[in-house]
Structures are given as structure tokens and as C-alpha cells.
């Protein structure tokens, strides 16, 4: 089984990434992740069936509606919605899923059912943490959060 660092590295090599759960609120976690990935050169696609535009970009109602598709998705929603989103992945060609878990706000997108679905369908899944804690997307604050979450047992090794 791959380590979290190896899974994160593989996820972050995907050039086209969807972020599910974005909104028009500028400071919510999903929108911050969307903005950082975009700033770091990824082709990023916001996904929210209730929002037409995010950060001036077209927002898509589902993974299947993204032109040209994506290979990865960061999910920043309630766990019940995470389960719905991962069921879209096989049909949309998504092979990498990151379920966000926040240190500061205590919010989590992680769902055991969604994790099991991904594993059963050959989808690389990271259940917890944040992509901004790793690689070229990270910053000092997120690396500190990664350390705290790992030390407290809220993030796998």
C-alpha cells in the first residue's frame, strides 16, 4: 500500500483537476483550493450543480460535463455528497480522488462508503487532509497543519 506522501505526489501530477464543492464564497475551503491549484498552473474545473460561475470561470454541474474530462477530483462537500460524487468517477474517467478534511474548521468530506467505492473501482483515493499540504501547492501554514494532523492521528502516514 502506498504512503500518503506517494499518493499525494501521484495526485498532484494530474494536470487536469476538478474541485467539487466550490461556491461563490471567496474564503471557503473548496474555492481556496481551486484558486491555489489554478495559480500553480493546473487546469482546474469548478464543480457545483447550484452555481454557474466561480472566480469568473464556468462552473460545471457534474464531473461528466467537464469538456475533455479530468483525471482527478478534490471533493470538499458533506460526506453524503462525497458518496454521490465518487459514483460519477468511473463514468467520467476520474482515477484519482482526494476527500478533503480540514484541521481548522473541523469539516470533513471523508466517507467510509465513498472510500470503499473508490477502492472497489480501482480509483486512487486519499481520505483526508488537503492537497495544499503537499508538493508545489503547499505553503508553510498548510505544512504545519499536515504536521499537526499527523501528530494527532487525524492524517495517515
The CATH number given to whatever domain includes residue 47 is: 3.40.50.720
pLDDT on residue 111: 93
Domain membership flag for residue 156? no
Q: Domain of 133? A: 4-151
Domain membership flag for residue 145? yes
The per-residue pLDDT string of the chain (157 residues; one tens digit each, 9 = 90 and over) reads 578 788 989 999 999 999 999 987 666 889 989 999 999 999 999 999 999 999 899 999 999 999 999 999 999 999 999 999 999 999 999 999 999 876 555 578 899 999 999 999 999 999 988 888 766 676 666 566 666 666 666 666 5
Domain membership flag for residue 13? yes
Domain membership flag for residue 23? yes
Domain membership flag for residue 94? yes
Domain membership flag for residue 157? no
pLDDT on residue 24: 72
Residue 153: half-sphere exposure toward Cβ, Cα within 13 Å: 0
Strand, coil or helix: 27 = coil
Number of domains in the chain: 1
Residue with cell 482526494: 98
What pTM, to 2 d.p., does this model score? 0.87
Amino acid at each position: 500500500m502506498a504512503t500518503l506522501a506517494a499518493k499525494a505526489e501521484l495526485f498532484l501530477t494530474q494536470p487536469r483537476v476538478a474541485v467539487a464543492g466550490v461556491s461563490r464564497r471567496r474564503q471557503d475551503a473548496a474555492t481556496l483550493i481551486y484558486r491555489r491549484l489554478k495559480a500553480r498552473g493546473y487546469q482546474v474545473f469548478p464543480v457545483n450543480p447550484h452555481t454557474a460561475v466561480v472566480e469568473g470561470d464556468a462552473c460545471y454541474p457534474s464531473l461528466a460535463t467537464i469538456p475533455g474530462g479530468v483525471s482527478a477530483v478534490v471533493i470538499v462537500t458533506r460526506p453524503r455528497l462525497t458518496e454521490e460524487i465518487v459514483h460519477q468517477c468511473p463514468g467520467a474517467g476520474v482515477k484519482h480522488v482526494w476527500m478533503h478534511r480540514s484541521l481548522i474548521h473541523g469539516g470533513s468530506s471523508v466517507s467510509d462508503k465513498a472510500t470503499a467505492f473508490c477502492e472497489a473501482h480501482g480509483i486512487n483515493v486519499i481520505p483526508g487532509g488537503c492537497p495544499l499540504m503537499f508538493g508545489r501547492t503547499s505553503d508553510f501554514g498548510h505544512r504545519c497543519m499536515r504536521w499537526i494532523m499527523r501528530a494527532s492521528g487525524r492524517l495517515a502516514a
